[in-house]
Structure 1
């Protein structure tokens, strides 16, 4: 805060010297910073860009972009123009060209260097320095001052120290917090010339950066035109998944020369103070975009991990006398997930049932027949062979390889009638049993060949022993499967 140094500032009155026919001029911004200390400025914000923007900085009248080498004293980092540090020869006009989906736009900055005097100057002269920011404290209230040290993420700032009239501020009424100076029970004595100062590290190099603030005190909250308008949040609820990361921005429209404090609170406690130990919920840096008659301010709150305790709790954005809150709630259950899960369960069950029925079909049918008896009906006694054969439900033909066995079909009337019913009238089903494996059916009667082709055959199997019941052997299960279910007489009517 001592020896004289150089200052550079932006002159709003200077005409725009850089012209680009294809780009639209949107504004000229003002900034100031002492020489021999870092200075940075970003020309983009969500209000100026839509989608992914490409930003390029130029210095008039050169058409060559500013270097992107981080080791260069003047270089570009994303949308930032960075001076590490500022020098007298940096006076001039700079142009920021923004190319995005909305076309090409440009912002002009005109920098001028002037002398700055240290603590030996009087209070009135210090209060009127061009690089100073004016802020207001309200008498009898708890208020705060903000140190506007804005740099890209590559610049690491140490804790900020505060000074009044070149002396470091100490006392129970003052609390240092991030870039803010919290002042409890403001009094008339708090008027004066303030400065905030911090060490900055960039790519292994260290610098000292400071900002001056002219502070006035007032007993009035402010006239009606200075009442901030919080456009978001709107006392609304936001769905957030448990354990997720979430950032909510508070957007405020206010006058350009306002000094209103903008912050997030839980109840009446600042968020950063409430979560001082865990730092699970943090307040972000304030950014703003200045227009002709007003400015739009943005300050965010970030949840590194949403927990159950956050649901239903109001998180309030304060801007001067205005306030608005939001509350978190769990996301509504997705009905589509239940529907898809149900369909998958049904499909899986059907596939399992199909697989089981295909593998154990015979066992299932036999079990069903033994478990659920079908009631039989009384039948009339047949007096002729044909009628008796028609009452049969299965015709079992045992095949032997000797040709002699097939000649019997020519001489036995019962067998001939049975074959006739099976072939012509299709009145009964046929079970062909091969005692030994038949190598060829060519020598067999055509009727047997047809029946074998139509109904298939069952081969004799010796897959049982003396100790195991033959009824449980695979061969006999197949025979029982091809046989009709057992009939039982109908129940007798109950007697009166």
Structure 2
């Protein structure tokens, strides 16, 4: 024990230069005694710290270089895990993970001692195992043993077998829980004491390895710890909002004594989750993981919904740990009416802007189209009224301005033109269309009447040569002329 303490005192100098030793707080020290030539993994997890945004980095004393994250190497960091594929003799030593979050630094120390590979241990053999490898069965009760083979998600474990005193365990009193890696023992007796072994096949990146876990089992007639029961910290009989069709993972967090033999599992409608959904496998119970502390263990076992469906709502999903139980109920999310309102207003504003842009570009085409579609026929009248109506339909004064060299003296001497301009300017009974055949640079040399018409009505400018395309009614010039002309009216149909 003194040797371990001395090594831990020296670990502080192995920290990277940007981490001060006095800023890091030691959380726990753990001893691990795995066998050589088999995979081994350890998860650096401390829920109050690693559940949020925390940076986890692994080191081996006295190196200041972090453990590689390249999965092609034999030893590498996988998420929060340190993974050995497989262990070698030279891997013995002290490892530490540094947990950095916000303004604090924490450390977990692992004293790793690699033992020689042992397939099984006979009943009378004495093996110096850590507390994690020692378990207790209670006489006269239905109890269980746990195979602590904990690896990251990148590793797949299957084909788990149990042995006792070098012989494979068989019989009606024993039942295998492969997914939970447990061995149930009915009606425990003193004969169940001994050396146990669980062995499994591990597959990682296409390679297969053999991995095993030794357990020394004692039996007792005492319940231990004065009847202390497990504490489930989550769930808390609460509700969880989940979108229909979404994927959901919920953890069950449990604090229990170190030598407990409680089963930890999920159920729905008083049935094990894996049995209730054995056909669809849409909802599955995850693998149990744990972290050991000086006086207790912290367990986590999750439940995964690959796709939330309507039948999952309003049913309690219960986490069990011995005699303790807690549940959660799924609920559909409450509609966000504010989001719908904001989305509707934004959509309306977008449509309004789009309409305004289209109108500003095609306003003449829209006006001409409206005139051609929505025209109401008038009623029949007398001949004088018809003539008067026809005159009104034609009452547009078109003034064509040609080259300035022609001058406007002629306009001053022609009585018809003067009368037309008088009616247009004074009586305001005739609309004027001013057409520029050529661009007029200076209107000050023109009669005041023309200047006034230009200021009041503007002008339509002709540009380009006279070609077949320019005479087309769909060109911009002719559209403007048509727009300035009075709307076309149709005579009403005659009555019998």
After TM superposition, the score normalised by the length of structure 2 is: 0.70
Which residue in the other structure is 1:148 paired with?
A: 148
Deviations along 1:412-441, whole A, 9 cap, x unmatched? 5x9757645644x5744533487xx85588
Aligned residues: 440
Which residue in the other structure is 2:303 paired with?
A: 301
Match of 2:342 among 339, 343, 350: 339
**Cα deviation, residue 316, structure 1:** 1.2
CA distance in structure 2 between the aligned counterparts of 1:454 and 1:196, rounded to whole angstroms: 101
Match of 1:479 among 457, 481, 485: 485
**Cα deviation, residue 477, structure 1:** 7.4
CA distance in structure 1 between the aligned counterparts of 2:427 and 2:371, rounded to whole angstroms: 24
Q: Mind listing any 5+ residue stretches in structure 2 that lack a counterpart?
A: 13-20, 380-391, 462-467, 469-477, 492-496
Which residue in the other structure is 2:99 paired with?
A: 98
CA distance in structure 1 between the aligned counterparts of 2:400 and 2:112, rounded to whole angstroms: 114
User: What pairs up with 1:16-27 in 2 under 5 angstroms?
Assistant: 16-20=8-12, 21-22=21-22, 23-27=24-28
**Cα deviation, residue 315, structure 1:** 1.5
Deviations along 1:159-202, whole A, 9 cap, x unmatched? 21123444323345523422433638545478433432113345
Does the CA-based 8 Å contact 2:56-2:97 persist in structure 1? no
**Cα deviation, residue 318, structure 1:** 0.9
SS in structure 1 at match of 2:163:
strand
Are residues 211 and 431 of structure 1, via their aligned partners in 2, closer, same or farther at CA, if it must alter by over 3 Å?
same
CA distance in structure 1 between the aligned counterparts of 2:367 and 2:455, rounded to whole angstroms: 22
CA distance in structure 2 between the aligned counterparts of 1:158 and 1:314, rounded to whole angstroms: 30
User: What pairs up with 1:37-436 in 2 under 5 angstroms?
Assistant: 37-49=38-50, 50-59=52-61, 61-63=62-64, 76-86=77-87, 91-112=92-113, 119-122=121-124, 132-136=133-137, 144-172=144-172, 174-181=175-182, 183=184, 186-188=187-189, 191-193=192-194, 194-202=196-204, 204=207, 206-214=209-217, 216=219, 223-224=226-227, 226-335=228-337, 336-345=339-348, 347-348=350-351, 351-352=354-355, 355=359, 358-364=364-370, 370=376, 396-399=396-399, 412=415, 419-420=421-422, 422-423=424-425, 427-432=428-433
Deviations along 1:324-359, whole A, 9 cap, x unmatched? 111222323333145314531464266348537652
**Cα deviation, residue 455, structure 1:** 2.2
**Cα deviation, residue 140, structure 1:** 6.1
SS in structure 1 at match of 2:10:
coil
RMSD across aligned positions (CA): 4.8
Are residues 25 and 362 of structure 1, via their aligned partners in 2, closer, same or farther at CA, if it must alter by over 3 Å?
same
After TM superposition, the score normalised by the length of structure 1 is: 0.70
SS in structure 2 at match of 1:107:
strand
CA distance in structure 2 between the aligned counterparts of 1:331 and 1:190, rounded to whole angstroms: 55
SS in structure 2 at match of 1:257:
coil
Are residues 333 and 359 of structure 1, via their aligned partners in 2, closer, same or farther at CA, if it must alter by over 3 Å?
farther
**Cα deviation, residue 308, structure 1:** 2.8
Q: Mind listing any 5+ residue stretches in structure 1 that lack a counterpart?
A: 1-9, 374-391, 464-472, 487-496
Does the CA-based 8 Å contact 2:121-2:165 persist in structure 1? yes
User: What pairs up with 1:428-447 in 2 under 5 angstroms?
Assistant: 428-432=429-433, 445-447=447-449
SS in structure 1 at match of 2:456:
helix
CA distance in structure 1 between the aligned counterparts of 2:439 and 2:68, rounded to whole angstroms: 93
Greater Cα offset, 38-47 or 314-323: 38-47
